[in-house]
Amino acid sequence: MNIDLVKSQIEKNLSKKVIVTVYGLRNKISRYEGVLYKVYPNIFSIMENGIEKSFSYNDYITGDIKIRFLN
Protein backbone atom coordinates (compact mmCIF):
# COMPACT_ATOMS: atom_id res chain seq x y z
CA MET A 1 0.00 0.00 0.00
CA ASN A 2 1.43 3.36 -0.95
CA ILE A 3 0.72 6.79 0.45
CA ASP A 4 -0.93 8.13 -2.73
CA LEU A 5 -3.50 5.33 -2.63
CA VAL A 6 -4.25 6.05 1.03
CA LYS A 7 -4.59 9.80 0.39
CA SER A 8 -7.00 9.27 -2.51
CA GLN A 9 -9.12 6.84 -0.48
CA ILE A 10 -9.38 9.29 2.41
CA GLU A 11 -10.06 12.29 0.11
CA LYS A 12 -12.84 10.31 -1.57
CA ASN A 13 -14.58 9.90 1.81
CA LEU A 14 -14.25 13.52 2.93
CA SER A 15 -17.22 14.72 5.05
CA LYS A 16 -18.28 11.15 5.87
CA LYS A 17 -18.48 9.55 9.31
CA VAL A 18 -15.49 7.47 10.37
CA ILE A 19 -14.20 5.55 13.35
CA VAL A 20 -10.46 5.80 13.89
CA THR A 21 -8.88 3.21 16.18
CA VAL A 22 -5.44 4.10 17.52
CA TYR A 23 -3.17 1.34 18.81
CA GLY A 24 -0.81 2.98 21.29
CA LEU A 25 1.91 1.93 23.67
CA ARG A 26 1.38 -0.80 26.25
CA ASN A 27 -1.67 -2.18 24.47
CA LYS A 28 -3.65 1.04 24.94
CA ILE A 29 -6.41 1.37 22.35
CA SER A 30 -8.30 4.63 21.73
CA ARG A 31 -11.32 5.05 19.44
CA TYR A 32 -12.52 8.29 17.93
CA GLU A 33 -15.80 8.63 16.05
CA GLY A 34 -16.38 11.72 13.99
CA VAL A 35 -16.57 13.25 10.55
CA LEU A 36 -13.60 13.24 8.18
CA TYR A 37 -12.93 16.95 8.31
CA LYS A 38 -9.82 18.04 6.38
CA VAL A 39 -7.09 16.50 4.26
CA TYR A 40 -3.55 17.87 4.22
CA PRO A 41 -0.39 16.67 2.42
CA ASN A 42 0.92 14.66 5.40
CA ILE A 43 -2.04 14.34 7.76
CA PHE A 44 -5.82 14.17 7.83
CA SER A 45 -8.17 15.27 10.57
CA ILE A 46 -11.56 14.32 11.93
CA MET A 47 -14.00 16.44 13.90
CA GLU A 48 -15.23 14.70 17.05
CA ASN A 49 -17.70 16.62 19.23
CA GLY A 50 -16.28 19.97 18.14
CA ILE A 51 -12.66 18.90 18.70
CA GLU A 52 -10.31 18.37 15.77
CA LYS A 53 -8.08 15.26 15.93
CA SER A 54 -5.26 14.77 13.42
CA PHE A 55 -3.64 11.57 12.20
CA SER A 56 -0.77 10.72 9.86
CA TYR A 57 -1.11 8.72 6.65
CA ASN A 58 2.04 6.85 7.66
CA ASP A 59 0.36 5.67 10.86
CA TYR A 60 -2.37 4.11 8.73
CA ILE A 61 0.14 2.41 6.44
CA THR A 62 2.13 0.96 9.35
CA GLY A 63 -1.02 -0.27 11.11
CA ASP A 64 -0.77 2.04 14.12
CA ILE A 65 -4.29 3.27 13.31
CA LYS A 66 -7.26 1.70 11.55
CA ILE A 67 -10.00 3.65 9.78
CA ARG A 68 -13.55 2.37 9.39
CA PHE A 69 -15.73 4.38 7.04
CA LEU A 70 -19.41 4.57 8.00
CA ASN A 71 -22.35 5.50 5.76
pLDDT digits (tens, 9 = 90+) for 24-48: 989 999 999 999 999 999 999 999 9
Q: Is 12 helix (H, G, I), strand (E, B) or coil?
A: helix
**pLDDT reading at 1 higher than 80:** no
When the candidates are 2.40.50.140, 2.40.240.10, 3.30.450.40, 2.30.30.100, the CATH number that belongs to 3-69 is: 2.30.30.100
Q: What CA–CA distance (Å, rounded) separates 35 from 27?
A: 26
Q: What CA–CA distance (Å, rounded) separates 10 from 69?
A: 9
Model pTM score:
0.88
Specify the amino acid at residue 24: G
- Mean pLDDT, range 7-16, rounded to an integer: 94
| Residue boundaries of the structural domains of the chain | 3-69
- Mean pLDDT, range 54-64, rounded to an integer: 94
Res 22: pLDDT:
96
